[in-house]
Chains A and B, each alone.
Chain A
Amino acid sequence: MKRIALWGGGILLLLAALAAAVYGPRFMDMASVGAGYVAKQMCSCLYVAEREFDACRSDIPDSMDRIDAEPLEGRPGVRAHTIGLERLAVHTPGAGCRLLP
């Protein structure tokens, strides 16, 4: 019985590792795109449309609720972050907001 449990656990771990290897990069890529969306749109909404933070946040689709955002300190822009990654968008008067590398 114990041997079966060990084998089962090992197989599950292997499957999890395979899933992480296959889907992990895709998941991180989508998270980065989502954080980019939140940072860019929040930045433009705040500094180009000149609307309030909460109003801007309410325009972000519910599917991105797990991506947090806050205004940058010391310069006009927005930081959006989730699961260990972040994206920054900054504002330049007359040229709108841009995502940073």
Chain B
Amino acid sequence: MRTSLLALGLVLLAAARAAASEDLAALPPHPHALAWPTAAWVEGEPEAGVDRAALDAAYERAFRSVSVDGTSNVRALLAIHRGVLVAERYAPGFEPETRFHSWSMAKSVTQALVGILVSDGRLRVDAPAPVARWQTPGDLRGALTLDHLLHMTSGLDNADNSDGGGGAGFVEELIFGKGATDQAAYASDVELAHEPNTHWAYSTGTSTIVASIVQNEVGGSGDAMRAFMGRRLFRPLGIRRMVGEFDDAGTFMGGGFVWAPARDWARFGYLYLRDGIWDGRRILPEGWVDYSRTPAPAPNNAVFGAHFWLNDEPFGDQLAILPGAPKSTFCVTGAYGQYVCMVPTHDLLIVRLGEMHGLGWPELRAPLVDLIAAFPPLAAEGDAP
């Protein structure tokens, strides 16, 4: 009875997601005559049709924002239109080789690693997540799937904003406090606070658990994980300076600790803009990017997919991503204003890295929305894919 109910649930879930996927904007292919940015990004002037004055004004507005110590809040701002790097600027003290902290953008890197293992047939998102401490008979957490974890609808009591048990919140205890030396253990050693798929809650701990699942699958050690990340994700994309950090237990801190130059972050985003294909080779399984940008099935969620952020009307206290930008936009985001955003309807990718000392979210987002608005939608030029 329970099995047939589960099967029925999966069928209904698949049907709902198929309906949602029909609303997704098509992902534009890489231009035929253009070199892939594996060795280097092709640089060029914006095409005719791009509002150059508006683009320049958006850059000026973005870099005018300074923090209390006088340094620029925006440290790197890149725009890639139709595969060409058409605008790139760094604040003083930063350059194309500088590594920038991902904060939560690391979560999406972790998600890509899951996708690669799914394409290998080594992980399934609808199968129980292989977390050893949940496998005791009768433990309800044993039924949690990678799908629940990637959507942050597991119901685990490890939300970022939940009580950390000391003076700090859960996420602070996880990454800098009591949980810092073995983050996957700390994040997974919690009870269920909600039934799965009934409540969405943003959780760095959950991403850390996902990272540990990947690491265990590829051999368990930090060395094995680094080798896997390099061989299957970084090197195929030409990502040369991305560094993942590992905790004292040797586990990839996939919830918030990856460092990379802006151009490498752009390569990561470009993989998703191109539907998981890189230079003719499928890196992520077919349908993975659509899965990433389809809202998680929870009644209190509208803007979170599978470890990616969606540009829709937020639910309740959820953070709006880029209000005013095209609805097709989906993003990788991190604390203090890290953004890698893909805009399929405009064949556009933007990267914004930096700080937000003394800056509100509306002020931070406004120049990014202006920047996107400088580019025409594909349909307006009559050559939408």
Binding site for B on A (CB under 8 A): 25-27, 29-30, 32-34, 36-37, 40-41, 44-45, 48-51, 55, 58-59, 61-62, 92, 94-101
Counting from the closest, the 5 A-B pairs by CB-CB distance are A96-B245, A29-B166, A36-B176, A26-B167, A30-B167
- Residues from chain A with a CB closer than 8 A to the CB of B166 are 25-26, 29-30, 33
Nearest B residue to A91, CB-CB:
B245
Contact B181 A99 (CB under 8 A): yes
Contact A48 B176 (CB under 8 A): no
Dominant secondary structure at the B interface: loop
Contact A99 B176 (CB under 8 A): yes
- Residues from chain A with a CB closer than 8 A to the CB of B259 are 44, 48-49, 96
Partner of A36, one of B69, B98, B177: B177
* Interchain CA distance A27-B172 in the complex, whole Å: 14
Contact A96 B176 (CB under 8 A): no
Partner of A96, one of B98, B177, B246, B357: B246
- Output the least CB separation between A31 and chain B (Å): 9
B243 at interface by CB-CB < 8 Å:
yes
- Can you list 15 pairs linking A and B with CB atoms under 8 Å apart? A26-B167, A30-B166, A30-B167, A32-B177, A33-B176, A44-B101, A44-B257, A44-B259, A50-B98, A50-B99, A58-B69, A59-B355, A96-B257, A100-B181, A101-B248
* Interchain CA distance A62-B69 in the complex, whole Å: 11
- Residues from chain B with a CB closer than 8 A to the CB of A61 are 357
Partner of A29, one of B93, B177, B245: B177
Contact A95 B99 (CB under 8 A): no
Partner of A51, one of B98, B167, B177: B98
* Interchain CA distance A51-B172 in the complex, whole Å: 24
* Interchain CA distance A50-B97 in the complex, whole Å: 10
Contact B168 A49 (CB under 8 A): no
- Output the least CB separation between A8 and chain B (Å): 30
B222 at interface by CB-CB < 8 Å:
yes
Partner of B244, one of A49, A51, A96: A96
Nearest A residue to B172, CB-CB:
A33
* Contacts beyond the supplied A34-B176, A40-B175, A96-B246: 18 A-B pairs with Cβ under 8 Å: A25-B166, A26-B167, A29-B168, A30-B167, A36-B180, A44-B259, A45-B101, A49-B98, A50-B98, A58-B69, A94-B226, A95-B222, A96-B245, A96-B253, A98-B247, A99-B181, A99-B247, A99-B248
Chain B contact residue count (CB 8 A cutoff): 32
* Interchain CA distance A98-B245 in the complex, whole Å: 7
* Interchain CA distance A97-B222 in the complex, whole Å: 13
Nearest A residue to B174, CB-CB:
A33
- Output the least CB separation between A23 and chain B (Å): 8
- Residues from chain B with a CB closer than 8 A to the CB of A48 are 99, 243, 245, 259
- Residues from chain B with a CB closer than 8 A to the CB of A97 are 245
- Residues from chain B with a CB closer than 8 A to the CB of A55 are 93
Contact B177 A49 (CB under 8 A): no
Contact A30 B101 (CB under 8 A): no
Given contacts A49-B259, A50-B99, A55-B93, contact A33 B177 (CB under 8 A): yes
Contact A49 B248 (CB under 8 A): no
- Output the least CB separation between B320 and chain A (Å): 24
Contact A49 B100 (CB under 8 A): yes
- Residues from chain A with a CB closer than 8 A to the CB of B275 are none
B65 at interface by CB-CB < 8 Å:
no
- Residues from chain B with a CB closer than 8 A to the CB of A45 are 101
* Interchain CA distance A37-B68 in the complex, whole Å: 20
- Residues from chain B with a CB closer than 8 A to the CB of A40 are 175-176, 180
B370 at interface by CB-CB < 8 Å:
no
B147 at interface by CB-CB < 8 Å:
no
* Interchain CA distance A25-B168 in the complex, whole Å: 11
Given contacts A94-B226, A96-B245, A97-B245, contact A33 B100 (CB under 8 A): no
- Residues from chain B with a CB closer than 8 A to the CB of A29 are 166-168, 173, 177-178
Contact A95 B180 (CB under 8 A): no
- Residues from chain B with a CB closer than 8 A to the CB of A26 are 166-167
B71 at interface by CB-CB < 8 Å:
yes
* Interchain CA distance A59-B94 in the complex, whole Å: 14
- Residues from chain B with a CB closer than 8 A to the CB of A32 are 177
Partner of A49, one of B101, B175, B226: B101
Given contacts A48-B245, A55-B93, A98-B248, contact A33 B101 (CB under 8 A): no
Nearest A residue to B261, CB-CB:
A49
